[in-house]
Amino acid sequence: MLRGIYGSAAAMIAQQQRQEMLTNNLANVNTPGYKADQGSLRSFPNMLIQAMNTSNKQPGSHFVGSLATGAYLQERTPNFIQGDLQQTGNNTDLALLQGTVPVNEEGRQGALFFTVQNADGEARYSRNGNLAVNGQGFLVNSQGFYVLNTAGQQIQVGNEEFRVNREGFVFNEADAPLGQIQVALAEDPMQLVKEGDGLLRFTADGQLPTAIGNGQATYQVQQGFIERSNVDSAQTMTEMMSAYRSFEANQKVLQAYDRSLEKAVNEVGRIG
């Protein structure tokens, strides 16, 4: 009976974590470049149950069967599928339209990202192209982090009257070249972890390689557009209802076990 309580409680915790993940996805449905998280529910290893101290000595007669020990949310992985592009008409908005990307040995499709420099001078990666020009004339993201060029340097555009072509080359209002925006290629996007504010950190050593000059990766930079979140709000709402119903069902099972224990303590063991 206690094992049943543990199993129901583990399932409730897993569904609560899944609900929190889905709620966060829904909250970011309008965040440019946001990639929805996906959860993987797994069961704990099963236990093999055997009968002890039985009179039946036939071979194999002591074997009872397996017992599940509950479920848990194993991991949260972002879905890096391309989001829809939305036209804004703002010069400072850039969208990365992903074309073909390589597929690694494990069958995972790669992904492309803008490269920015955080407050500690470290490289971070993002698909959020909702950019701005700071007071010093540098191109920055919504957190004020510098957008980097292919040389790993900050891009000074002066004002918002700059132009970006499809290859990511930046030109000022006098049509003078200012460099090319760095587009990084993650051959295995699962090596990236979310840090908040739409930023991703590369967990392996060094930095992501550039996609520029890589014949297996094609893309276009679209000025005046932003990439919308790839969250499917209708599907997310359906999954939230499913998680709630599953949580509720396990809660009722837990309450039933609790009532059974109460009877065992207060009635079965009573000496009349």
Domain boundaries, the chain: 2-78+231-268, 85-227
| Confidence grade of residue 95 (pLDDT, cut at 50, 70, 90) | very high
Q: Please calculate the CA angle 123-141-96 and round it to the nearest 5 degrees.
A: 80
In this structure, of 47-56, 113-122, 163-172, 256-265, the range with the lowest mean pLDDT score is: 47-56
Interatomic CA distance for residues 232 and 25, integer angstroms: 9
How far is CA 225 from each of CA 72, 130, 211, rounded to the nearest angstrom?
A: 40, 9, 21
| Confidence grade of residue 10 (pLDDT, cut at 50, 70, 90) | confident
Interatomic CA distance for residues 115 and 113, integer angstroms: 6
In this structure, of 54-58, 74-78, 92-96, 202-206, the range with the lowest mean pLDDT score is: 54-58
Return the pLDDT at 62: 61
Q: Is the pLDDT of residue 220 over 90?
A: yes
CA 182 to chain centre: 23
Q: What's the pTM value of the predicted model, to 2 decimals?
A: 0.80
Tell me what the mean pLDDT of segment 102-106 comes to.
Answer: 83
Q: Give the alpha-carbon dihedral of 16, 21, 22, 24, to 10 degrees.
A: 120
Residues 223-252 pLDDT 10s: 999 999 999 999 999 999 999 999 999 888
Interatomic CA distance for residues 225 and 85, integer angstroms: 6
- Percentage, residues of the chain above pLDDT 90: 61
Contacts of 20 (CB under 8 A, 6+ apart): none
Read off φ and ψ for residue 147, nearest 5 degrees. Answer: -80, 135
CB 137 within 8 A of CB 159: yes
Closest CA to 37 of 193, 141, 183: 193
Buried b (16+ CB within 10 A) or exposed e, 28-37: beebbbbbbb
Residues 133-192 pLDDT 10s: 999 999 999 899 999 999 999 999 999 999 999 999 999 999 999 999 999 999 999 999
How far is CA 30 from each of CA 23, 145, 183, 203, 226, rounded to the nearest angstrom?
A: 13, 21, 23, 27, 11
Contacts of 187 (CB under 8 A, 6+ apart): 102, 104, 110, 209
Return the pLDDT at 54: 58
Residue whose structure tokens are 């920015």: 116
Closest CA to 189 of 75, 109, 74, 97: 109
Contacts of 228 (CB under 8 A, 6+ apart): 30, 32, 83, 84, 85, 86
CB 70 within 8 A of CB 11: yes
> DSSP letters along 3-66, please?
HHHHHHHHHHHHHHHHHHHHHHHHHTTTSTT---EEEEEEEPPPEEEE--S-S--STTTTEEEE
| Confidence grade of residue 262 (pLDDT, cut at 50, 70, 90) | confident
- Mean pLDDT, the chain, rounded, equals 87
Return the pLDDT at 58: 56
Residues 45-80 pLDDT 10s: 665 556 555 555 555 556 556 666 667 677 788 999
